[in-house]
Structure 1
Amino acid sequence: MGSGRKKEDEREGFRMVPNHDDEENIEKGDVDLVKYDPYAPPDGGWGWVVMIASFICNLVLDGIAYTFGIFLIPLMEHFGVQKGPMSLVGSVLAGTIQLVGPFVAVLVNKFGTRVVCIAGAVISATGFFASTFATSVPVLMLLYSIVAGTGLGLMYVPAVVAVGYYFEKKRAFATGISVCGSGAGTFILAPLASLMLSYYGWEGATRILAGLCLQCAVCGAVMRPLPRRKEKVEEEEEKGEPAPCFQSVVSSVFDRRLLTNIPFLLLLLANLFSTMGLYIPYMYLPSQAESKGIPAVDASFLISVVGICNTLGRILSGLLTDIPCVDPMVVTTLALTFGGLCPLLMALCVEYWSFLIISVLFGTFLSAWVAVTSPVLVELLGLELLTSAFGTLTFVRGCAALLGPPLAGFIVDGTGDLDIAFYISSGLLVVSAVVSLASYLTIKRSQ
């Protein structure tokens, strides 16, 4: 009878718990009825498995995107092209991952994180594997950058969103751990890619990366959907057929409330410049170090140094921004300012120890800019517009990632001076800091 009463109470949305405030009543068997929500995020349990799966997805997809510079010279030699055309392959890959973000968000809303992530793992693995048979740069770009990049983009959004579904009180902590996979991927895959290149060439190394992508299908499989509220399902059914995917994306990206917010528009402009500048050192740092007589393995390890410092920096900057008196816009502006000086110093480095120091500073400073993006958007627009604003910002960053490295590459090809790429990166990041400061001052003036 007691068991039947317990089940009946749980169906009604109650749970029997002891009243710990009165030990005497506990001895008598008295209990309180506490209202609970069966549809609330579990804040643990299987959620920790989902967090680890998201971490691995971020490790693989960002690790591949950020370590393309290690493949740059072998690919140039294989296809007989210069830095400009070949760096375009890497920048299109990075740009595609972010450009498809708004579309992927719509797919996640319709099909769930599990299906979309598994599809992304299969598509990216197929694209990378097929690219090893490419006979020209355009074919390589189609398979490696666009097809595989789309697959990685399909993995990226579920890897971020799934953690949020499983956590509420611990959401910031769990999400922070999962996105640290980005820096960990750069740290791990950079020396691994260099080692694979020395043994298997770029084709074999890329096929191994394809295998890593395919393993992410297992990570997607653990992102099982949580039960949904009956009222929510009925509400969606009453709305009938949803808007077409493209229409949904356009209405989200071009929200009138976003396009009329001056500080947000300035923030978009700042991100355009900063993302263009960010990817250039990732692309050319190994080549720059090798040109100073540093061995290829040691040169590729610099990307690992940037990655691990980026990981630690995200955690520290997140803790710093949680302090009530710290303004995330100030953190963003300072991070872009000091981070913008690092590429300039990279061009002046000669000894390996100097490259190591600047790589540490570059990874640490610019990690803060990335880590505080959500707090900045909430401060500007409020929680209601966070998803739409993040989608728009991701789209702009994708466009910028397409422009920065090839722009620097074509200029380097024309001048024959690799240092110019780092001057361009530094200039773009400093301009971004100035625009970010203008956004901050605009906010303060309106308050």
Structure 2
Amino acid sequence: MASIEKQDHDVEQDARISDDSTPSTPPVKEVEKPQAPAKEGTPKAYLALLGGFFGLFISFGWLNCIAIFQAEYEVNQLRTYSSSEISWITSTEFFLMLFFSPVSGYLFDNYGPRVPIFIGGLLQVFGLMMASLSSKYYQFLLSQSIVSGIGTSLIFNPSVTSPMTYFRKGRALAGGLTVAGSSVGGVVFPLMVNHLLPKIGFGWTMRTCAFLILGLWAITVCCISANMPRKNRNFDFQRFLQPFKELNFLILFVFAFFLYWAIVVPLNYLSVSAITRGMSISMALNLIPIMNAASFLGRTIPNVLADKYGRYNVTMAVLLFTAIIELALWLPGKSNAAIIVFAAFFGFGSGACIGLAPVLVMNLSPSPQEYGFRMGAALAVAGVASLTAPPIAGAIAAKSHGSYDNAFIFAAVSGFISLVFLIVLRGKVIGWKLKENTSKAGGH
């Protein structure tokens, strides 16, 4: 109290001196206090969650249709090409969505989520409109794979990351609800495509989907925001390479690579492989919305459990579940009922893995300012896996006389390898005890 009174007395004395004397002392520049971070549960946080949901709906949700386009092109537009050759169209689109993420992460860190999402939406819609006019292999590759793929990447990374910047305690749940948008999109788009293709043809089906994406993209741009400071800086390639020099992130990258090898093969070949087992084309195409509907549960329920029982623990459990059913359910299950059950179970497991992986990346990041480009680096690694897995699986199926059983074995083995690296990462980050101490798990 004495100190405060002394300070007040000094201020009054300085004021009198300033009034009585001609030269005045320069005013002290007031230090601006940093803006308090938005708390969990604020309207801005929930609007960001809504924007992220729709951003995933139109990006990853659209790419959840890749199995439908694989089957459609094999039967109609590109029937003279092999399954492995056609898979380059869908795998390149998936690859670019993930591999281009460092660029969208850089834009996100410097300018916030709206700039990359705005550019990405325009590219995605333009690419799909051009795909609706395509008839040759290179045209589909340029429009659907490259232009639309880059567009989805600019939407995907900021949409995943932005909502989680508003949450800490419920980060896994927030991430799951955001990524669940891709599950809903993965139900809506296949049903639309299956319903519209025989009625209005391929061209207008693609345009109708593009118009829906355009409307939801506008909502995403209006709602999305991020709760993190931004500082404009030049792209530093050495800074981008920094996570590749850190042992924990290197282990995480290897985990992500084999995880996407395990997931992308069934995503790409589920419908085609079901047709080879005698399922009708219409029923085989309906496997995609069944799988994506189940993945909605996989991207929400495990994320709730992860905030309670540990993010590494739950991720390991669902990854083990996914790898097991690729062997124990797919290989012996030849009937339609068994294939439908596999689609639902695989959708749940793969959805949980995809929803929890970004949370692990954010937990390992040293500061919020590095969320964007570190998430982009992890997704770029996953993109390489997404590019290479379908052609490898297609070549395996060709060597197996059209059977996809060995391709699914390849996916399951990749899942087990991914699980090994995740166990090692968990041990290094939080220790080897069964109970996960979330205070050691990191996160900002």
With structure 2 as the length reference, what TM-score do the two structures score?
0.79
**Alignment partner, residue 9 of structure 1:** none
**Alignment partner, residue 420 of structure 2:** 434
Distance 1:442 1:406 in 2: 34
Whether 1:337 aligns to 2:320 is yes
**Alignment partner, residue 380 of structure 2:** 395
Alpha-carbon distance change, 276 to 294 in structure 1, aligned in 2, over 3 angstroms? same
Per-residue CA deviation, residues 128-162 of structure 1 (Å, 9 max, x unaligned), is 11123334212311111110011111111232344
Q: Which runs of 5+ in 2 are unaligned?
A: 1-32, 434-439
Paired AA for residue 155 in structure 2: M
CA shift, 1:40, in A, is: 3.7
Per-residue CA deviation, residues 359-405 of structure 1 (Å, 9 max, x unaligned), is 22212223332233244345555556654432221110111110101
Distance 2:227 2:378 in 1: 30
Distance 1:39 1:100 in 2: 32
CA shift, 1:116, in A, is: 2.4
Q: Aligned runs of 1:163-312 on 2, under 5 Å?
A: 163-164=163-164, 173-223=173-223, 242-243=233-234, 245=235, 247=236, 250-255=237-242, 258-312=243-297
Matched-pair identity in %: 20
Instruction: Verify the 8 A CA contact 2:258 2:415 in the aligned structure 1.
Output: yes
Instruction: Verify the 8 A CA contact 1:113 1:162 in the aligned structure 2.
Output: yes
CA shift, 1:356, in A, is: 2.2
Instruction: Verify the 8 A CA contact 1:115 1:220 in the aligned structure 2.
Output: no
CA shift, 1:38, in A, is: 6.3
CA shift, 1:175, in A, is: 4.2
**Alignment partner, residue 307 of structure 2:** 322
**Alignment partner, residue 344 of structure 2:** 360
Tell me, what secondary structure is at the counterpart of 1:346? coil
**Alignment partner, residue 373 of structure 1:** 357
CA shift, 1:60, in A, is: 2.0
Distance 1:278 1:171 in 2: 23
Distance 1:118 1:381 in 2: 26
Whether 1:74 aligns to 2:72 is yes
CA shift, 1:47, in A, is: 4.5
Instruction: Verify the 8 A CA contact 1:191 1:297 in the aligned structure 2.
Output: no
Instruction: Verify the 8 A CA contact 2:294 2:348 in the aligned structure 1.
Output: yes
Instruction: Verify the 8 A CA contact 1:71 1:202 in the aligned structure 2.
Output: no
Instruction: Verify the 8 A CA contact 1:310 1:364 in the aligned structure 2.
Output: yes
Q: Aligned runs of 1:141-156 on 2, under 5 Å?
A: 141-156=141-156
Distance 2:315 2:343 in 1: 19
**Alignment partner, residue 130 of structure 1:** 130
CA shift, 1:189, in A, is: 1.9
**Alignment partner, residue 63 of structure 1:** 61
**Alignment partner, residue 41 of structure 1:** 38
Per-residue CA deviation, residues 192-226 of structure 1 (Å, 9 max, x unaligned), is 22222222333332222222222233124414768
Distance 2:175 2:319 in 1: 23
Tell me, what secondary structure is at the counterpart of 2:149? helix
Instruction: Verify the 8 A CA contact 2:173 2:303 in the aligned structure 1.
Output: no
RMSD: 3.0
Q: Which runs of 5+ in 1 are unaligned?
A: 1-35
With structure 1 as the length reference, what TM-score do the two structures score?
0.79
How many residue pairs are counted as aligned between the two chains? 395
Distance 2:297 2:363 in 1: 24
Q: Aligned runs of 1:111-130 on 2, under 5 Å?
A: 111-130=111-130
**Alignment partner, residue 26 of structure 1:** none
CA shift, 1:442, in A, is: 4.6
Distance 1:172 1:439 in 2: 18
